[in-house]
Structure 1
Amino acid sequence: MRILLVAMNSIHFVRWTDQLKDSGHEVFWFDILDGGKTDRLPWVNQITGWKQKYPYFKGRHFIKKHLPVLYKKLGFLIENSITVKFEEILHEIKPDLVHSFVLYISCTPILEVMKKHHNLPWVYSSWGSDLYYFKNIPKFKRDILKVLTHVNYLITDCKRDIKIAKELGFNGKVLGTFPGGGGFNYDEANKYIKPVSERQTILVKGYQGRSGRAIEILNALKLISDLIEEYKIVVFGTDKEVENYLQEENISSLLTIKSFPKRDFLPHQKILELMGNALVYIGNSNSDGIPNSLLEAIIQGAFPIQSNPGGASAEVIEHHKNGLLIEDCENPKEIAQHIKTAISNVELLKNAFQINQKELKPQFERALVENQVKEAYNKVLNN
């Protein structure tokens, strides 16, 4: 089978695609943003370098940066049309299916082409906030409604989004719910897992921006700073807003804290190591699916305290059993109470560790998920 993947380059997309290596399928990737080839997928037929009509035009970057309005007006002279180039690709490689990742990035731009090729199976993967957040924004909702009536197959990272997709007009077949980046290799991950009794770190995901709410976590930690003096606070993936907050509020005067800026990309191995050392992991946002970082906390034995937008996190966390759910992501007092509950209840931490290691972790093992994903693609081929 010839599979054409349509996506931007991201670590989750790379990890997902790697599941198809040695599957017997011929895999092509149309880089929708034309960000350049990646050496992490050398076995994939990568379609890049398609966007610029004049790739050696020296003034392009200057105009785009300093004169964006002019660049937009002159775009048709400088850049190739996505729809024209994508249709050329379809005619050239003649795929057996097209698989788009993230609706507004990889479905909307090719919708008109796919409507013309309506007999070509079209798979759509919904990740994170793709449906839950953007359905509430009129401009994006219009695209969602248009796309969902034309895609044939759906893959999600949480069951919540299956319901949302159907409510918004999807009437195709659901291929399954899988982690956005596929499963996890435990041969690599297990070596970083410490016993609960040896963990003294509170690990925080440092996203703010549109949906992240890391600052609310930091405010919660400030509220109970006298109770967590013995703990080391580690914040990873901090964006500029959170970095500025850490400095302006002089958090280091209250807490023993270390941050890893988002711009200094952390390898996946390092994240697994942080999770394997953490007693508690806290992730907080106003919108997401089932975050990969939450799954990483679960498999690495960190006690998860996680926001629960639309009930997605409740699909893997049972409150007060194998983690704690944040119901109001804007409320530092609620988050502070959850942290106090966790660090003051050793039995809760130990029981959650056992539940997550024995019951949940096996569900996300790399080979298991990989086989399920391959079966999903085969269902399309055999339909």
Structure 2
Amino acid sequence: MKILMVAIPNHHFFQWVNQLEDSGFEVFWFDVTDGGPKSNKIPWVTQIKGWKLKYNFIFRQRIKKQFPKLYNYIQKYNENNVLSAFEKAYNNIQPDIVHAFEMQLSGLPVLPIMQKNKTPLIYSSWGSDLFYFKELGLTKTQVNTFFKRTNYLITDCKRDFKIAKNNGFKAKYLGVFPGNGGLKIDMSKIKKFNQRHTILIKGYDDGVGKASIVLKALELVSKEILKKKTIVIYSADDSIKKLIEASKVLSSLNIIVHSRYKFIKNRDLLALMGESCIHIANSLSDGMPNALLEAMAMGAFPIQSNPGKVTEEVITANKNGLLIENPLDANALVMLIEKAIEDVTLRQEAQDFNVNFIKAHYNRSTLKPEIIKLYQNIKHTSV
């Protein structure tokens, strides 16, 4: 069976695809953005890249850097259209299944070609994909048109299936799966409760991510309960570092910042979660956050925003985590942070519960045969 994946270069996509390595499937990846070289994270996959440029002319990079307006003008005539590139790939492969990851970036760009054929199309919704589609610039008509061609839907949370049905999806729902295909946890990296002294914060502050509100809350949190804590901010936008430098309160705290633009290996991030007492992530929109699931798996107590009530699918407030109901309310977040630090019993009981919960519901080795069977069943029903 030949499966043609359509996706941007993304860590979670690579993790999903690697579930299929020993399945016997022929897997192809059409990099819809044609960004960068072939990925060494999925070397066994046939990667369709290098399709965008017609000519890689001499001094192209220099012109791109020094004369951006000229470069953009040249590229109008020097870039192949994504539709023609995908159509060529589709015709050469003749796939049994096409699987698009995310609608705006991957699904809609190839929709006109898929409307010409009857090959089964799977769509995996990711993150803010459906919940925030209007804010991302999509119209209800675009979403409805895409769903008319979609044969199968996978979501990373229950919420998005309801949104899909309200926007024209009437085909087969394959269920909820984490966007990365499941978690593989090194139990040896999960520190004991009394060995955790780090507060870990996701640093996205890009309009949707609201780490800046977390920083505002930290300025108001009792300094007495923070003085023995190390605060680590990962995947931080540049604005976060500037906010810390400009704040006397934040500058006085023990804060370590890892830039969003300097790659942290996933195993290193998991190890960091495994030694953290609290993990905080705050955003206006998201699907089921992979970082949340990873933090829970590693025993870090989660304080997480709840857009569209998606987070409460895995967190029961005051049992195994705390929910941020208003991601713009720094004062409410102060109370959550202080409660999490001071309520030792809550955090300790949550640690044991969350590690076992993720092991039972998001274990990669358990989900792998289910994902393989998912594709097999589609092939069988389409014959």
Matched residue, 1:38: 39
Q: 1:290-305 alignment to 2 at 5 Å?
A: 290-305=288-303
| Contact residue 148 and residue 168 of structure 2 kept, 8 A | yes
Matched residue, 2:26: 26
Q: 1:316-327 alignment to 2 at 5 Å?
A: 316-327=314-325
Q: Could you give the per-residue CA deviations for residues 161-203 of structure 1, whole angstroms, max 9, x where no partner exists?
A: 11111111111111121111111222xx212111112211111
Question: Are residue 193 (structure 1) and residue 190 (structure 2) matched?
Answer: yes
Aligned counterparts of 2:361 and 2:349: Cα–Cα separation in 1: 18
Q: 1:209 aligns with which of 206, 210, 228?
A: 206
The number of residues matched between the two structures is 379
| Contact residue 63 and residue 71 of structure 2 kept, 8 A | no
Q: 1:19-98 alignment to 2 at 5 Å?
A: 19-35=19-35, 36-59=37-60, 62-63=63-64, 66-68=67-69, 74-98=74-98
Q: 1:221-240 alignment to 2 at 5 Å?
A: 221-226=218-223, 227-240=225-238
| Contact residue 297 and residue 359 of structure 2 kept, 8 A | yes
Matched residue, 1:218: 215
Aligned counterparts of 1:241 and 1:175: Cα–Cα separation in 2: 39
Aligned counterparts of 1:278 and 1:59: Cα–Cα separation in 2: 45
Cα drift, residue 343 of structure 1: 1.3
Matched residue, 1:367: 365
Cα drift, residue 133 of structure 1: 1.1
Question: Are residue 7 (structure 1) and residue 7 (structure 2) matched?
Answer: yes
Aligned counterparts of 1:283 and 1:201: Cα–Cα separation in 2: 14
Identity %: 41
| Contact residue 244 and residue 251 of structure 2 kept, 8 A | no
| Contact residue 197 and residue 277 of structure 2 kept, 8 A | yes
Aligned counterparts of 1:253 and 1:111: Cα–Cα separation in 2: 49
Structure 1's 65 and 78: CA in aligned 2 closer, same or farther, altered over 3 A? farther
Aligned residue for 2:183, secondary structure, equals coil
Q: Which amino acid aligns with 2:152?
A: Y
Aligned residue for 2:115, secondary structure, equals helix
359-368 or 46-55: which moved more?
A: 359-368
Cα drift, residue 245 of structure 1: 1.0
Aligned residue for 1:116, secondary structure, equals coil
Cα drift, residue 55 of structure 1: 2.1
| Contact residue 104 and residue 143 of structure 1 kept, 8 A | no
| Contact residue 29 and residue 45 of structure 1 kept, 8 A | yes
Aligned counterparts of 1:291 and 1:336: Cα–Cα separation in 2: 22
Structure 1's 166 and 363: CA in aligned 2 closer, same or farther, altered over 3 A? same
Q: 1:258-337 alignment to 2 at 5 Å?
A: 258-337=256-335
Cα drift, residue 67 of structure 1: 3.9
Matched residue, 2:346: 348
Aligned counterparts of 1:87 and 1:23: Cα–Cα separation in 2: 26
Q: Which amino acid aligns with 2:3?
A: I
Q: Could you give the per-residue CA deviations for residues 68-119 of structure 1, whole angstroms, max 9, x where no partner exists?
A: 4x655554520111111211111111100100111111111111100011x1
Question: Are residue 155 (structure 1) and residue 161 (structure 2) matched?
Answer: no
Structure 1's 123 and 222: CA in aligned 2 closer, same or farther, altered over 3 A? same
Q: Could you give the per-residue CA deviations for residues 110-135 of structure 1, whole angstroms, max 9, x where no partner exists?
A: 11100011x11111111001111123
Structure 1's 53 and 138: CA in aligned 2 closer, same or farther, altered over 3 A? closer
Aligned counterparts of 1:237 and 1:90: Cα–Cα separation in 2: 36
Aligned counterparts of 1:140 and 1:60: Cα–Cα separation in 2: 36
Q: Which amino acid aligns with 2:179?
A: G
Aligned counterparts of 2:281 and 2:172: Cα–Cα separation in 1: 32
| Contact residue 6 and residue 100 of structure 1 kept, 8 A | yes
Unaligned 5+ residue runs, structure 1? Answer: none
157-166 or 137-146: which moved more?
A: 137-146
Aligned residue for 2:131, secondary structure, equals coil
Aligned counterparts of 1:138 and 1:147: Cα–Cα separation in 2: 15
| Contact residue 190 and residue 271 of structure 2 kept, 8 A | yes
| Contact residue 208 and residue 214 of structure 1 kept, 8 A | yes
Aligned counterparts of 2:167 and 2:65: Cα–Cα separation in 1: 36
Matched residue, 2:167: 168
Cα drift, residue 146 of structure 1: 2.1
Aligned counterparts of 1:364 and 1:176: Cα–Cα separation in 2: 13
Q: Which amino acid aligns with 1:98?
A: V
Q: Could you give the per-residue CA deviations for residues 204-224 of structure 1, whole angstroms, max 9, x where no partner exists?
A: 111101211111111111101
Structure 1's 237 and 88: CA in aligned 2 closer, same or farther, altered over 3 A? same
Matched residue, 2:121: 122
Question: TM-score under structure 2 normalisation?
Answer: 0.95
Structure 1's 78 and 64: CA in aligned 2 closer, same or farther, altered over 3 A? farther
Aligned counterparts of 1:61 and 1:86: Cα–Cα separation in 2: 29
Aligned counterparts of 1:372 and 1:354: Cα–Cα separation in 2: 26
Q: Which amino acid aligns with 2:91?
A: H
Q: Could you give the per-residue CA deviations for residues 312-342 of structure 1, whole angstroms, max 9, x where no partner exists?
A: 1011001110001000000111111111111
